[in-house]
């Protein structure tokens, strides 16, 4: 069983975030797969999101800009590899969409029904341990992942009240 608080596990070339949410997996999947929801919570603390393209199907592209609290814009492009509604989403970060593949990793998001709620598992898989360490040093990826899941939790609280 996953505890209600966030658990973060770092092993070799991957980071796993686990948290229980007191919502059905269909709702958790919806807020992870709908642009209307994503613009409300996606990213670390203080970031906002502009979605340029969102093709939510296997092979589809998600092109977006994260606007940082530091005033910088961070372009991102993701390709959806495998979507299994409402159980999981596998995607690959493919850079900024302009030829810069500075960050190369895959994420698997698993929505596992548990009792009345859902255990969320987010696994970020990097090509090597060194690449994970580099991305974490440059972008604060692990803390950003924790804040990302925390912002999801805050958003779910808002829409449930």
Mean pLDDT of the chain: 92
Q: How many residues does the chain have?
A: 161
pLDDT digits (tens, 9 = 90+) for 13-38: 999 999 999 999 999 999 999 999 99
Q: Give me the mean pLDDT over the 72-79 stretch.
A: 93
Whether pLDDT at 86 is above 70:
yes
User: What are the structural domains, with CATH classification, of the chain?
Assistant: 7-160 (3.30.530.20)
pLDDT digits (tens, 9 = 90+) for 122-149: 999 999 999 999 989 988 999 999 999 9
DSSP symbol at 130: H
Whether pLDDT at 101 is above 90:
no
How high is the pLDDT of residue 142?
A: 95
- Going by C-alpha positions, the residue among 89, 31, 43 that lies closest to residue 70 is 43
- Cα separation, 62 vs 156, in Å, equals 22
**Using CB atoms within 10 A of its CB, is residue 124 exposed (0-12), middle (13-18) or buried (19+)?**
buried
């Amino acid at each position: 069983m996953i505890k209600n608080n966030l658990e973060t596990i770092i092993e070799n070339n991957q980071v796993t975030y686990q948290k229980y949410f007191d919502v059905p997996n269909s709702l958790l999947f919806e807020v992870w797969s709908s642009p209307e929801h994503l613009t409300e919570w996606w990213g670390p603390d203080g970031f906002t999101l502009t979605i340029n393209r969102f093709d939510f199907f296997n092979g589809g592209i998600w092109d977006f800009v994260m606007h940082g609290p530091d005033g910088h814009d961070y372009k991102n492009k993701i390709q959806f590899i495998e979507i299994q509604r409402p159980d999981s989403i596998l995607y690959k970060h493919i850079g900024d969409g302009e030829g810069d593949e500075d960050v190369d990793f895959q994420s698997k998001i698993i929505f596992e029904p548990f009792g009345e709620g859902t255990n969320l598992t987010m696994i970020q898989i990097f090509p090597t341990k060194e690449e994970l360490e580099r991305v974490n040093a440059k972008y604060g990826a692990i803390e950003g992942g924790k804040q990302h899941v925390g912002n999801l939790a805050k958003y779910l609280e808002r829409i449930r009240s």
